[in-house]
Amino acid sequence: MELVSNEEQVAENLAELDRAGSSSGDGRQIYLDLIKHGKCYLPYLNESGIAFAPSRFIGYVNNKIRAHGSNQDKHGSKTNVALNRIYGSHPVHHGGLQLEFERFCISIGVKPSRDGSFGTTRKYWLTEDVAEVIAKGQEQQILADAVLTETEKMQLILARVGQGAFRQKLVKHWGKCSATDCSQIDILRASHIKPWRESSNGERLDVYNGLLLNPSLDALFDKGYVSFDDKGQILISPYLSESDRKILNCSSDLNVKLSPEHLKYLAWHRENLFWAEL
Protein backbone atom coordinates (compact mmCIF):
# COMPACT_ATOMS: atom_id res chain seq x y z
CA MET A 1 0.00 0.00 0.00
CA GLU A 2 1.06 3.58 -0.68
CA LEU A 3 2.35 5.66 2.22
CA VAL A 4 0.71 8.99 3.07
CA SER A 5 2.43 12.16 1.88
CA ASN A 6 0.23 14.99 3.20
CA GLU A 7 -2.07 15.96 6.08
CA GLU A 8 -5.23 15.60 3.95
CA GLN A 9 -4.53 11.89 3.47
CA VAL A 10 -3.90 11.50 7.20
CA ALA A 11 -7.18 13.32 7.95
CA GLU A 12 -9.11 10.80 5.82
CA ASN A 13 -7.65 7.98 7.89
CA LEU A 14 -8.48 9.76 11.15
CA ALA A 15 -12.09 10.03 10.00
CA GLU A 16 -12.09 6.29 9.25
CA LEU A 17 -10.82 5.59 12.77
CA ASP A 18 -13.51 7.80 14.29
CA ARG A 19 -16.19 5.99 12.30
CA ALA A 20 -14.88 2.62 13.45
CA GLY A 21 -14.66 3.80 17.04
CA SER A 22 -18.31 4.82 17.08
CA SER A 23 -19.53 1.66 15.32
CA SER A 24 -20.34 -1.78 16.70
CA GLY A 25 -19.30 -5.32 15.81
CA ASP A 26 -16.08 -6.39 14.13
CA GLY A 27 -15.08 -2.90 13.01
CA ARG A 28 -15.05 -1.54 16.54
CA GLN A 29 -13.11 -4.51 17.86
CA ILE A 30 -10.43 -4.04 15.18
CA TYR A 31 -10.27 -0.38 16.17
CA LEU A 32 -9.86 -1.22 19.87
CA ASP A 33 -7.09 -3.71 19.08
CA LEU A 34 -5.27 -1.08 17.02
CA ILE A 35 -5.37 1.38 19.92
CA LYS A 36 -4.35 -1.22 22.48
CA HIS A 37 -1.32 -2.61 20.65
CA GLY A 38 0.17 0.50 19.05
CA LYS A 39 3.64 1.90 19.71
CA CYS A 40 3.61 5.34 18.07
CA TYR A 41 0.53 7.55 17.92
CA LEU A 42 -0.63 10.80 16.41
CA PRO A 43 -2.78 12.67 18.98
CA TYR A 44 -5.56 14.66 17.35
CA LEU A 45 -8.65 16.60 18.38
CA ASN A 46 -12.15 15.26 17.79
CA GLU A 47 -15.55 15.93 19.35
CA SER A 48 -14.59 14.02 22.51
CA GLY A 49 -11.28 15.83 23.11
CA ILE A 50 -7.83 14.39 22.45
CA ALA A 51 -7.94 11.07 20.57
CA PHE A 52 -5.04 8.87 19.45
CA ALA A 53 -4.32 7.27 16.09
CA PRO A 54 -1.70 4.51 15.67
CA SER A 55 0.95 5.21 13.07
CA ARG A 56 0.70 1.80 11.45
CA PHE A 57 -2.90 2.52 10.47
CA ILE A 58 -2.92 6.20 9.48
CA GLY A 59 0.34 5.94 7.53
CA TYR A 60 -1.24 4.27 4.48
CA VAL A 61 -3.28 6.14 1.87
CA ASN A 62 -7.06 5.62 2.07
CA ASN A 63 -6.74 2.92 4.68
CA LYS A 64 -9.85 1.05 5.84
CA ILE A 65 -10.37 -0.78 9.11
CA ARG A 66 -11.27 -4.15 7.61
CA ALA A 67 -8.73 -3.91 4.79
CA HIS A 68 -5.92 -3.06 7.19
CA GLY A 69 -5.63 -6.61 8.47
CA SER A 70 -4.90 -7.97 5.00
CA ASN A 71 -2.05 -5.52 4.40
CA GLN A 72 0.87 -7.91 4.71
CA ASP A 73 3.40 -5.12 4.21
CA LYS A 74 2.26 -2.93 7.12
CA HIS A 75 5.03 -1.86 9.45
CA GLY A 76 5.34 1.03 11.87
CA SER A 77 8.89 1.87 10.85
CA LYS A 78 7.66 2.70 7.35
CA THR A 79 4.65 4.72 8.43
CA ASN A 80 6.70 6.56 11.06
CA VAL A 81 9.07 7.87 8.40
CA ALA A 82 6.12 9.08 6.31
CA LEU A 83 4.55 10.88 9.28
CA ASN A 84 7.91 12.38 10.29
CA ARG A 85 8.09 14.04 6.88
CA ILE A 86 4.56 15.40 7.08
CA TYR A 87 4.77 16.82 10.62
CA GLY A 88 8.44 17.81 10.61
CA SER A 89 9.13 15.97 13.84
CA HIS A 90 9.44 12.47 15.17
CA PRO A 91 7.48 10.70 17.92
CA VAL A 92 8.84 11.14 21.43
CA HIS A 93 8.01 10.01 24.93
CA HIS A 94 5.71 12.59 26.47
CA GLY A 95 4.47 12.33 30.05
CA GLY A 96 1.46 14.58 29.50
CA LEU A 97 0.35 12.72 26.39
CA GLN A 98 0.86 9.36 28.08
CA LEU A 99 -1.64 10.42 30.76
CA GLU A 100 -4.03 11.67 28.07
CA PHE A 101 -3.63 8.35 26.24
CA GLU A 102 -4.53 6.42 29.39
CA ARG A 103 -7.61 8.59 29.89
CA PHE A 104 -8.57 8.05 26.26
CA CYS A 105 -8.20 4.27 26.61
CA ILE A 106 -10.49 4.25 29.64
CA SER A 107 -13.08 6.32 27.77
CA ILE A 108 -13.29 3.77 24.93
CA GLY A 109 -13.16 0.68 27.12
CA VAL A 110 -9.52 -0.35 26.66
CA LYS A 111 -7.38 -1.21 29.67
CA PRO A 112 -4.52 1.30 29.50
CA SER A 113 -0.87 0.37 29.85
CA ARG A 114 2.37 2.32 30.01
CA ASP A 115 3.99 0.31 27.21
CA GLY A 116 3.09 -0.70 23.67
CA SER A 117 3.64 -4.04 21.98
CA PHE A 118 6.68 -6.03 23.11
CA GLY A 119 7.17 -3.70 26.09
CA THR A 120 8.29 -0.71 24.01
CA THR A 121 7.75 2.79 25.36
CA ARG A 122 4.85 4.52 23.67
CA LYS A 123 5.74 7.64 21.73
CA TYR A 124 3.72 10.50 20.27
CA TRP A 125 3.94 13.21 17.64
CA LEU A 126 3.06 16.56 19.16
CA THR A 127 1.09 18.84 16.83
CA GLU A 128 0.57 22.51 17.63
CA ASP A 129 -3.17 22.27 18.28
CA VAL A 130 -2.81 19.37 20.70
CA ALA A 131 0.19 21.00 22.39
CA GLU A 132 -1.86 24.14 23.00
CA VAL A 133 -4.73 22.16 24.55
CA ILE A 134 -2.32 20.39 26.91
CA ALA A 135 -0.53 23.62 27.79
CA LYS A 136 -3.80 25.37 28.58
CA GLY A 137 -4.77 22.48 30.82
CA GLN A 138 -1.46 22.72 32.65
CA GLU A 139 -1.91 26.47 33.02
CA GLN A 140 -5.33 25.91 34.58
CA GLN A 141 -3.74 23.53 37.09
CA ILE A 142 -1.19 26.21 37.98
CA LEU A 143 -3.90 28.87 38.38
CA ALA A 144 -5.90 26.55 40.64
CA ASP A 145 -2.91 25.67 42.84
CA ALA A 146 -3.58 27.22 46.24
CA VAL A 147 0.05 26.76 47.33
CA LEU A 148 1.39 29.16 44.69
CA THR A 149 1.25 32.93 45.07
CA GLU A 150 -0.25 35.01 42.26
CA THR A 151 3.26 36.20 41.34
CA GLU A 152 4.55 32.62 41.14
CA LYS A 153 1.60 31.61 38.96
CA MET A 154 2.29 34.45 36.53
CA GLN A 155 6.02 33.66 36.43
CA LEU A 156 5.29 30.02 35.57
CA ILE A 157 2.80 30.87 32.83
CA LEU A 158 5.10 33.47 31.27
CA ALA A 159 7.95 30.97 31.35
CA ARG A 160 6.06 28.77 28.87
CA VAL A 161 6.54 31.36 26.14
CA GLY A 162 10.03 32.33 27.25
CA GLN A 163 9.07 35.59 28.89
CA GLY A 164 9.15 37.23 32.31
CA ALA A 165 11.56 36.24 35.06
CA PHE A 166 12.76 33.11 33.22
CA ARG A 167 13.95 35.10 30.22
CA GLN A 168 15.53 37.75 32.44
CA LYS A 169 17.54 35.10 34.28
CA LEU A 170 18.75 33.61 30.99
CA VAL A 171 19.79 37.01 29.64
CA LYS A 172 21.74 37.67 32.84
CA HIS A 173 23.35 34.23 32.79
CA TRP A 174 24.35 34.05 29.12
CA GLY A 175 24.58 37.69 27.98
CA LYS A 176 24.34 36.62 24.34
CA CYS A 177 23.33 33.60 22.30
CA SER A 178 24.49 30.54 24.24
CA ALA A 179 26.09 28.97 21.16
CA THR A 180 27.02 31.89 18.87
CA ASP A 181 28.34 35.42 19.23
CA CYS A 182 24.96 37.00 18.48
CA SER A 183 24.40 39.73 21.09
CA GLN A 184 21.18 41.20 19.67
CA ILE A 185 19.28 40.36 22.85
CA ASP A 186 15.84 41.42 21.62
CA ILE A 187 15.79 38.72 18.91
CA LEU A 188 17.15 35.88 21.04
CA ARG A 189 14.78 33.19 22.28
CA ALA A 190 14.60 31.90 25.84
CA SER A 191 14.47 28.18 25.20
CA HIS A 192 13.76 25.48 27.78
CA ILE A 193 16.09 22.49 27.47
CA LYS A 194 13.57 20.14 29.07
CA PRO A 195 10.32 21.55 27.67
CA TRP A 196 7.92 23.49 29.89
CA ARG A 197 5.21 20.87 29.35
CA GLU A 198 7.49 18.11 30.73
CA SER A 199 8.99 20.08 33.61
CA SER A 200 8.03 20.50 37.24
CA ASN A 201 7.24 24.02 38.44
CA GLY A 202 10.77 24.32 39.82
CA GLU A 203 12.33 23.14 36.55
CA ARG A 204 10.20 25.59 34.56
CA LEU A 205 11.93 28.53 36.26
CA ASP A 206 15.40 26.99 36.67
CA VAL A 207 18.00 29.08 34.82
CA TYR A 208 20.00 25.89 34.17
CA ASN A 209 17.05 24.48 32.24
CA GLY A 210 17.42 27.17 29.62
CA LEU A 211 19.49 28.33 26.68
CA LEU A 212 19.41 31.75 25.01
CA LEU A 213 19.45 31.02 21.27
CA ASN A 214 19.13 32.83 17.96
CA PRO A 215 15.78 32.10 16.26
CA SER A 216 16.97 29.47 13.78
CA LEU A 217 19.01 27.58 16.37
CA ASP A 218 16.12 27.77 18.84
CA ALA A 219 13.77 26.19 16.27
CA LEU A 220 16.27 23.42 15.50
CA PHE A 221 16.81 22.71 19.21
CA ASP A 222 13.08 22.73 19.96
CA LYS A 223 12.37 20.22 17.15
CA GLY A 224 15.29 17.96 18.08
CA TYR A 225 17.44 18.60 15.02
CA VAL A 226 20.31 19.69 17.27
CA SER A 227 21.36 19.05 20.85
CA PHE A 228 24.57 19.34 22.87
CA ASP A 229 26.79 16.78 24.55
CA ASP A 230 28.06 17.04 28.12
CA LYS A 231 31.07 19.07 26.96
CA GLY A 232 28.80 21.56 25.21
CA GLN A 233 29.64 20.47 21.68
CA ILE A 234 26.75 20.67 19.25
CA LEU A 235 25.17 17.44 18.02
CA ILE A 236 23.49 17.67 14.61
CA SER A 237 20.88 15.15 13.57
CA PRO A 238 21.36 13.24 10.32
CA TYR A 239 17.77 14.23 9.54
CA LEU A 240 19.02 17.79 8.91
CA SER A 241 20.47 17.93 5.41
CA GLU A 242 23.84 19.46 4.63
CA SER A 243 22.21 22.10 2.43
CA ASP A 244 19.77 23.13 5.17
CA ARG A 245 22.60 23.25 7.69
CA LYS A 246 24.36 25.80 5.48
CA ILE A 247 21.19 27.84 4.91
CA LEU A 248 20.53 27.96 8.67
CA ASN A 249 24.19 28.60 9.49
CA CYS A 250 24.27 25.54 11.75
CA SER A 251 27.97 24.84 12.07
CA SER A 252 29.47 21.72 13.63
CA ASP A 253 31.88 24.05 15.47
CA LEU A 254 29.18 25.54 17.71
CA ASN A 255 29.38 24.85 21.43
CA VAL A 256 28.00 26.16 24.71
CA LYS A 257 29.78 26.72 28.02
CA LEU A 258 27.93 24.47 30.40
CA SER A 259 27.68 24.28 34.15
CA PRO A 260 27.24 20.90 35.86
CA GLU A 261 23.62 21.85 36.59
CA HIS A 262 22.84 21.90 32.86
CA LEU A 263 23.79 18.27 32.32
CA LYS A 264 20.65 16.53 33.61
CA TYR A 265 18.47 18.67 31.38
CA LEU A 266 20.60 18.09 28.29
CA ALA A 267 20.61 14.35 29.01
CA TRP A 268 16.80 14.49 28.96
CA HIS A 269 16.84 16.44 25.69
CA ARG A 270 19.18 13.97 23.97
CA GLU A 271 17.17 10.99 25.19
CA ASN A 272 13.71 12.30 24.40
CA LEU A 273 13.92 14.92 21.64
CA PHE A 274 17.13 14.59 19.64
CA TRP A 275 16.85 12.76 16.30
CA ALA A 276 19.94 10.64 16.85
CA GLU A 277 19.36 7.88 14.29
CA LEU A 278 18.10 7.53 10.75
What pLDDT score does 73 carry? 66
What pLDDT score does 77 carry? 79
What pLDDT score does 115 carry? 62
Mean pLDDT per block of 10 residues along the chain (278 residues) reads 94 96 89 92 93 95 86 75 90 87 94 66 90 91 96 96 94 97 96 94 97 96 95 95 94 96 97 79
| pTM given for the model | 0.80
What pLDDT score does 182 carry? 96
What pLDDT score does 116 carry? 58
Count, in order, helices (H) and strands (E) of the chain.
Answer: 13, 7
